[in-house]
Amino acid sequence: MKTVAIVSRKGGAGKTTLAVHLAVAASIKGKEVAIIDLDPQASAAGWGDSRTTETPAVVSAQAARLPKVLETAANAGADLAIIDTAPHSETAALAAIRAADLILIPCRPAILDLRAISDTIDLVNLAKKTATVVLNAVPPRGSLADEAVEAIASYGVTVAPIKVGQRAAFVHSLTTGLTAQEYEPEGKAAEEIQQLYKWMCKQLKM
């Protein structure tokens, strides 16, 4: 089983959005997927409750239980675990970072968000791991994304080659327990997630 942690000390960066979209992308490809929601606000778990299908499995857990929960998922035959985290719990973020084969830091291409990622990168460094920033909610026009890539490079972390746009389908789909791929399969949001998922699989060698 491969494990992906989605972390950012900044609320609203897109952790839950990416977690559920990447999980469904894997499910669509026939993978057994578990989303592990470490956020006490339980947004991913709530989304899971509002789904009419059982896949992907969504489990709400506490950081201290993470190794055990991952072991249970692996024993149950999961191919992939995606850990969604809370912005304000350093303990939970560190637990997720330590457990992960791949660490993704969603970040909006805006100055306050870019400044805030140094906190998240410090945690990754503390665990002696490396992470990749995924630019999220990138406006369709303008140079914000390019400027963000430059700013992130100065922190010494890489940026994923696939950027996720600011798109209504990401918002609307979640309110009905779906993801963009299910809500609007031919849309741009679905296409971006498909590309990001492909890139993620390559990183994970799966």
Ligand X SMILES: Nc1ncnc2c1ncn2[C@@H]1O[C@H](COP(=O)(O)OP(=O)(O)O)[C@@H](O)[C@H]1O
Residues 27-86 that bind ligand X (CB under 6 A): 43
Is 173 a binding residue for Mg ion by CB under 5 A? The answer is no
Nearer to ligand X, 15 or 31 (CB): 15
Nearer to ligand X, 12 or 29 (CB): 12
Is 17 a binding residue for ligand X by CB under 6 A? The answer is yes
Greatest C-alpha distance within the chain:
47
Strands (E), the chain: 2-6, 33-37, 57-60, 80-84, 102-107, 132-135, 158-159
Is 15 a binding residue for Mg ion by CB under 5 A? The answer is yes
Nearer to ligand X, 174 or 200 (CB): 174
Picking from 157, 158, 89, the residue whose alpha carbon sits closest to that of residue 125 is 157
CA distance 74 to 39: 21
Determine whether 76 is exposed, middle or buried from the number of CB atoms within 10 Å of its CB (0-12, 13-18, 19+). exposed
Q: Which does 167 bind (CB under 5 to 8 A by kind): ligand X, Mg ion, none?
A: ligand X
8 Å CB contact between 164 and 14: yes
> Is residue 165 helix, strand or coil?
strand
Among 35, 117, 137, 200, binds ligand X (CB under 6 A): 137
Picking from 7, 28, 10, the residue whose alpha carbon sits closest to that of residue 18 is 7
Is 21 a binding residue for Mg ion by CB under 5 A? The answer is no
Is 12 a binding residue for ligand X by CB under 6 A? The answer is yes
Is 16 a binding residue for Mg ion by CB under 5 A? The answer is yes
Among 45, 61, 164, 190, binds ligand X (CB under 6 A): 164
Among 2, 21, 163, 167, binds ligand X (CB under 6 A): 167
Q: Which residues bind Mg ion (CB under 5 A)?
A: 15-16, 43
